[in-house]
Structure 1
Amino acid sequence: MTDTDYIVLEGLPKPQVYHDLRKLAGMTPPPLEAVPKSLANSWVGFLAYERSQMIDASTPAADQIPVGMGRLVGDGSLFLILVDIAVHPEHQRRGLGKRITKALVDYVDEHAPFAYVSLVADVPAQKLYPLYGFKDVQPSIGMFRMKRGRRLQDEPAPEGLEKHI
């Protein structure tokens, strides 16, 4: 397939599709029960589809599953985070990550031109984002906090585990 065999459209995936696409793309799948709220709080999202399965030039078939996705979360004006750029492995290396990122950046430029857009990139994607104006934040550093699956530093260990920590 070539680049013209796909189309990128504004939209968000269904929760199960979101979960599965992240997993297939090698990203950590989130708890499925948290996905609907997360998607509902998106500022905007874009999905990549195979054209061959479309009803027409801009309408995916009712049961058509997107092969790529990306979205922005944030306040819609000053602060946005680019997240979830994911492409199904069978459709990677065809420029879909670039097309999804470009659609998101173009959307920001039109609808939130004063926004500070941040992201966290894994090693393979670190070459993608500078193509769209993203810069390394050094000498600043990035940080994160996530309680799921780990204890916070100041949180006591569950009873019986203190000897293992």
Structure 2
Amino acid sequence: MEPPAVDDYLRLRKESGLSERTREQAEKGVRGAWAACHVVHVESGEIAGMGRVIGDGGWYFHVIDMAVLPHHQRKGIGDAVLTALLGHIDERAPGAYVNLLADPPGRRLYARHGFVDSAPGSIGMKRT
């Protein structure tokens, strides 16, 4: 399990509809993940999907950067990435608290992996 190269990371974010980041942000972010993985399309050699986890290594983890190129979606790539990331957490931090922020297209995927809305007990917030 490893992150994609910075150029692939930036391309995956842009083409899958995630917000764009600067090269400097990408270089630091890719290296700063607790866990990361990517999927290579065998026939083309193209990086087709990715995901990362940030966390404290003990009990708290946040799934980020789940992205699959549009022409590779609905082929199980997102499911494979999330399965690998959650398996990595389960092996190294059993019983961990794992969360994420779900955009509408990913909600069904996350629900299949046991994620539920945290509201009203807690509500995600962000600093603007």
Structure 1 length-normalised TM: 0.73
Q: C-alpha distance in 2, partners of 1:52/1:16?
A: 20
Find out whether 1:141 has 2:123 as its counterpart. yes
Instruction: Tell me how far 1:99 sits from its aligned partner.
Output: 0.9
Q: Which has the larger radius of gyration?
A: 1
Matches within 5 A, 1:1-165: 10-52=1-43, 64-139=45-120, 140-146=122-128
Instruction: Tell me how far 1:107 sits from its aligned partner.
Output: 1.0
The two structures, once aligned, show a CA RMSD in angstroms of 1.3
Q: C-alpha distance in 1, partners of 2:36/2:28?
A: 14
Structure 1, gaps ≥5 residues long = 1-9, 54-63, 147-165
Instruction: Tell me how far 1:65 sits from its aligned partner.
Output: 3.7
Instruction: Tell me how far 1:46 sits from its aligned partner.
Output: 1.1
Contact in 2 for aligned 1:77/1:114 (Cα 8 Å): no
Deviations along 1:21-73, one digit per CA (max 9) or x if unpaired, are: 111001101122111111111011111112235xxxxxxxxxx4411000101
Higher helix share: 2
Structure 2, gaps ≥5 residues long = none
Instruction: Tell me how far 1:92 sits from its aligned partner.
Output: 0.8
Q: How many residues align?
A: 127
